[in-house]
Amino acid sequence: MDRRKLLVAGGVGVVVIGGVAASIAATGSASGSPAASGTGGAGAAGATKAGKGSASASPAVPLPTITTVPVNGATGVDPSKPVTVRVLGGTIESVSLSGQQQTSGTLSTDGSSWTSDNVLGVDSGYSLTVVAKNSAGKTATSNVSFHTLAPSATFGVESVVPPRGSTVGVGQPIRVTFSNYVPTEYQAALEKACVVTSTPAVKGAWYWVSNGSEGAVVDWRPETYWPVDTKVSIAFNLNGVRLGSHQFGVEDYASHDFTISSRDLRLIVDKDAFKATCYENGTVIRTFPIDTGQTTRETFVTYTGTMAVLGKGNPVEMKGNYGGGDVYDDFVNWATQITWSGTYVHAAPWDPDIGSANDDSHGCVHCRTADAEWFYNKVIDGDVVTINGSRTRTVAVDNGICTFTLDWATLVKGSAYGPTLNGKPVPA
């Protein structure tokens, strides 16, 4: 076993750091309080005064001095701060940190210090036991108890997309809505605590979609589309994470798992050519004519970019009142939604210009009924719809789940912690 890694059980605590370091010049049974002078401890009593013509007795080796942060009896300890152990005059033999939440620690190369690796939990009691040994093989033990603080403001997960247990397309980002605003200096800590793992392992990064008084919305997206059949898991290790001056996560959340579909389905819409091409696993499986938004009015120009399928309905009621007699309230069949603002790929039997050089929609992708029905029955949430054209109107990331519209470099710039691979930092 590598002596530099010592496993310890941690507790659930969050908040303010407590106390000054406690220095313990411990005897072989020290219990969190000073017990011997630095000149020898129990061995000093056995020293003899050298007489004339006699050999001098070797001086006793002092017992190690153990210092901990937090100190024994500390309260209001900040669980986001590491627990530390320092030893003078010896090396650390063992560290045990017991409480509600488990963590590990790292031992220095020379064995003189130990630092916990992870946060503790909020409002929890902990017991720390340290055993150190001097050069003569004598041990000293320090027993320390402390309690983490209860936060005045708490933070948690409101919702996660895709749903737990779902199967989604290769273009599905993870979207998490959190309860509160997160100041910039704490965003990396939140990203680090939200660990995405997958089989096979896939590199990706978090991206801050929005962050305000109504909470934070953060997406995690692979560098490229997910491989088919990927198994994905998200762990929210929030308990004890400081996310504001007085704000802490107070709960870890059960693993959130989902699966990527066994087929890679993408619809590529070419507005200029008035056609859509559907690919499955890289092979064209259908090409069909389409019509898109009116180019004479900016409001109706069909969005460009890459969108994840959000859902579908048959029928969907669509309403509009744009003045000048442009009023409608219709139930539209075979409607696949791709933006929150109301962009659909749907049947439009009333549109005579599908496939021609006239753009007649209010921003949706019009299809013939047979094609719209085929696509509706083929797609699932998270499948890819990419719309191209010379008249651009780039879709916003939060108008749906459109994180794949961003190039990788832009996405990484929007991350505080940077790219990860199964939760570990990696180069962009």
Peptide bond into 315 cis (omega under 30): yes
Write down the pLDDT at residue 32. 44
Point out the least confidently predicted range of 31-35, 65-69, 222-226. 31-35
Average of per-residue pLDDT across 333-339: 99
Structure confidence at residue 57 as a pLDDT band (50, 70, 90): low
pLDDT tens per residue, range 366-410: 999 999 999 999 999 999 999 999 988 999 999 999 999 999 999
Among 204, 234, 21, smallest CA distance to 113 is for 21
Q: Which residue has the tokens 């919305």?
A: 217
- Looking at residues 333-357, what average pLDDT do you find? 95
Q: Which residue has the higher pLDDT, 40 or 181?
A: 181
The helix/strand count (H/E) of the chain reads as 3, 33
Residue 150, phi then psi, degrees to nearest 5:
-95, 125
> What gap in Å lies between CA 303 and CA 365, rounded to an integer?
10
Mean pLDDT: which of 9-23, 26-40, 126-140, 313-327 is highest?
126-140
Across 131-157, average pLDDT:
97
| pLDDT at residue 85 is higher than 90 | yes
When computed from its CA atoms, the radius of gyration of the chain, rounded to whole angstroms, is 31
Which of 96-110, 118-132, 290-304 ranks highest by mean pLDDT?
118-132
Token pair listed for 403: 């994180």
Round the average pLDDT of the chain to a whole number and report it. Answer: 88
What tokens were used for 425?
A: 């930092």
Annotated catalytic residue, options 346, 362, 366, 402: 346
**Which residue, among 337, 270, 275, has the nearest Cα to 304 in the 3D structure?**
270
Please tell me what DSSP assigns to residue 242. Answer: B
| Residue among 194, 278, 364, 367 flagged as catalytic | 364
176's CB contacts (< 8 A; 6+ apart) are 157, 159, 160, 161, 194, 217, 218, 219, 220, 234, 236
Neighbours of 398 (CB within 10 A): 15
Q: How far is CA 145 from the centre of its chain?
A: 31
Strand segments (E) across 47-120: 65-69, 74-77, 84-88, 91-98, 103-107, 113-116
Per-residue confidence at 327, pLDDT binned at 50, 70, 90?
confident
- Confidence at 321, pLDDT banded by 50, 70, 90: confident
Between CA 112 and CA 126 the distance in angstroms is 22
Would residue 364 show up in a list of annotated catalytic residues for this protein?
Answer: yes
Cα separation, 396 vs 209, whole angstroms: 10
**Does 40 have pLDDT greater than 50?**
no
- Segment 288-294 mean pLDDT: 93
Task: Identify the CA nearest to 248 among candidates 392, 120, 426.
Answer: 120
Could you tell me the domains of the chain?
Answer: 5-43+59-148 (2.60.40.3780), 153-262+411-425 (2.60.40.3710), 265-405 (2.40.440.10)
Question: 427, exposed or middle or buried, with CB in 10 Å at 0-12, 13-18, 19+?
Answer: exposed
Q: How far apart are CA 206 and CA 370, in angstroms?
A: 39
Among 34-43, 253-262, 347-356, the least confident range: 34-43
Question: For residue 325, what pLDDT band results from cuts at 50, 70 and 90?
Answer: low
Least-confidence region, from 155-169, 171-185, 297-311: 297-311
Pick the closest to residue 35 from 72, 66, 61 (CA basis). Answer: 66
H-helix segments, 108-212: 187-193
Q: Which residue has the tokens 């180069």?
A: 427
Residue of 287, 277, 290 whose CA lies nearest to 364: 290
Task: Give the Cα separation of 288 and 371 in Å (integer).
Answer: 7
The type of residue at 193 is: A
Cα distance between residue 43 and residue 135, in whole Å:
13
Where does the pLDDT of residue 217 fall: very low under 50, low under 70, confident under 90, or very high at 90 and above? very high
Residue 193 has pLDDT above 60, yes or no: yes
Structure tokens at 414: 């929007």
Check pLDDT > 60 for residue 49: no
Predicted pLDDT at 44:
32
Rounded to an integer, what distance in angstroms lies between the CA atom of residue 124 and that of residue 36? 31
